[in-house]
Amino acid sequence: MNFELLKSQYENLLVFKLMNKIPNKDCTNLRKLIRFLKEFYMKCPPEQIDNDFTVIMSDYDFSKNGLDKNKFFDTRKIDLCSTIKFPCVIQIYKNGNIGIWNEQTIDLSQVDLNESISYELKDNEYIWIDNDKNLVEASALNTRSYFSSPTYWDLDVALNNYYLNNAKKSVCSKVANSWTNSKRIRWKNAPESNLRDSLWEYLRATLRGVSEIKREQNVNSENPIDIKVIWNFNFARALIEIKWLGVSVNEDETRKTSDYTNQRAVDGANQLCDYIDASKEENNELHFKGYLVVFDGRRRSVRNLTENQISLADANYYLNKEIVNIPEKFKDYKCSINRFFIEPGIEKRNFSS
C-alpha cells in the first residue's frame, strides 16, 4: 500500500470538506497549515504529546488574550521539536517566522480569529476557519493525528493483536515450542530467541509504512536491543526489549535453569532507558520510544522438579499481577509495558505436568 498517496488523498478530502467555509475558497493557507503539521509530526510523533497543542496562522497580537510575550524564531535555524514544551501554542506569521508560547494554552473560542486558520490537538483534532470550529475526523491509519503517518499507535495495535492471536494461548509455533509441553507450566531452557523471533516475524508481516525491523541491534557496548523498528520518511524509532518470566528447565527436565520474577521485568525497564539514552546520544534528532514486552509464564507452586501436580488457580495466579516497581525514568521517557500473560493449557482442576 502506498501510504504517501493515501495521505495525499486524505489531505485533498479534508480540503474539499472545508473549502466552502473559506472566503473565496482560497485554500492556500489551509494547505500551508497542513504542510506544517505533516512536517512537524514527521519529527515529533503526536502519540507522545500528552498536553494541548495549538497552531495559529495569523499576525494578530495574542498577548492581548492573556498569553505572555512569545519568542520569535526563524524556522530555518532551529530544531522546532527540541525548542517547544507542551502544552504549547505556535503562531505562524505571514513572513514564515513563528512565535512560540511554551507551557501555555489558549481558548480559541475567546479569541478574534477573523481571517485566520488554526489547529487544535486536544482529545480530538480541530481546524478553525476564522471562528468556526471543525472536527477533523480520525483517519483509518491507527494514528493520533490525521496529519501523521502510522508509527507508535500502529505498533500498539500490532502488539495487542499479536498477544491476543499468537501469544496468549501459544498459537504461534515458536511460542508453543518454547514450553516443555502443552500444559505450559515450565519453559524450555533459554526461550528468549524463539519469543523474539515470533514477535519479529509478526511485526514484519503487519506493520505499515516501515522501512526496516531489525533483530539484535547493538545500541551500547554491553547488550543489543531485541527489536528496532524504523519507519519510512519519519523520525520515529521504536526500541523493543523482550523479557520472559517463569521457570525454565534443561532439556531432560532434571534441572531448573532459571526462575525469573517481577525483578526481571524491572531490569528490562532499566535496560530500555539505557538504550534510549545511548540512542539519543548517537542521534538526538530522532525520536525514540521504548517498549518493554514481557512474556509472563509465571505459575504459583512450581518450586521444584519433584512436584507433578498444579491447580488451575495456581497456574492462573499471575493472570492479573501487573509488573510493579517500574523506575520513574521509564515513566518519564513515556515507555510502554506490554505484559503478555501466557495462559496455561489446563482444563481440569489438577493435572500431571
pLDDT digits (tens, 9 = 90+) for 323-334: 999 999 999 999
pLDDT of residue 353: 47
Distances (CA, A) of 45 to 20, 50, 72, 94, 146: 30, 11, 23, 26, 12
Confidence of residue 17 (pLDDT cuts 50, 70, 90): confident
pLDDT tens track for 296-322: 999 998 866 655 578 899 999 999 999
For the chain, the average pLDDT equals 89
Lowest pLDDT segment from 61-65, 139-143, 339-343:
61-65
Q: Which of 46-60, 159-173, 266-280 has the lowest mean pLDDT?
A: 46-60
What is the arithmetic mean of pLDDT over 203-218?
91
The answer on pLDDT for 191 being more than 60 is yes
Which SS3 state, helix, strand or coil, does residue 313 take? helix
Quote the pLDDT of residue 197: 98
At 115, the pLDDT band (50, 70, 90 cuts) reads: confident
Lowest-pLDDT choice from 66-70, 81-85, 111-115, 168-172: 66-70
pLDDT of residue 65 exceeding 60, the answer is yes
The radius of gyration of the chain from alpha carbons, rounded to an integer in Å, stands at: 25
The answer to whether the CB of 259 falls within 8 A of the CB of 247 is yes
What is the structure's pLDDT at 351? 45
Burial track 121-159 (b if 16+ CB lie within 10 A, e otherwise): beeebebbbeeeeeebeebebbbbbbbbbbbbbbbbebb
Q: How confident is the model at residue 238 (pLDDT cuts 50, 70, 90)?
A: very high
Classify domain 3-136 at the CATH class level. alpha beta
> What is the reported pLDDT for 95?
84
Judge whether residue 267 has pLDDT over 50.
Answer: yes
Q: 152-162 and 192-206 helices cross at what angle (nearest 10)? A: 120
Helix (H, G, I), strand (E, B) or coil at 59: coil
Cell of 243: 523479557
Mean pLDDT for the stretch of residues 166-194: 96
- Closest by Cα among 224, 236, 230 to 196: 224
| pLDDT value at 339 more than 80 | yes
Level-2 CATH architecture, domain 152-352: 3-Layer(aba) Sandwich (3.40)
Which stretch of 27-36, 60-69, 113-122 has the lowest confidence by average pLDDT? 60-69
What is the structure's pLDDT at 242?
98
Residue 350: the pLDDT is 47
pLDDT surpasses 90 at 38: yes
The pTM assigned to this predicted structure is 0.89
- Residue spans of the domains in the chain: they are 3-136, 152-352
pLDDT of 6 above 80: no
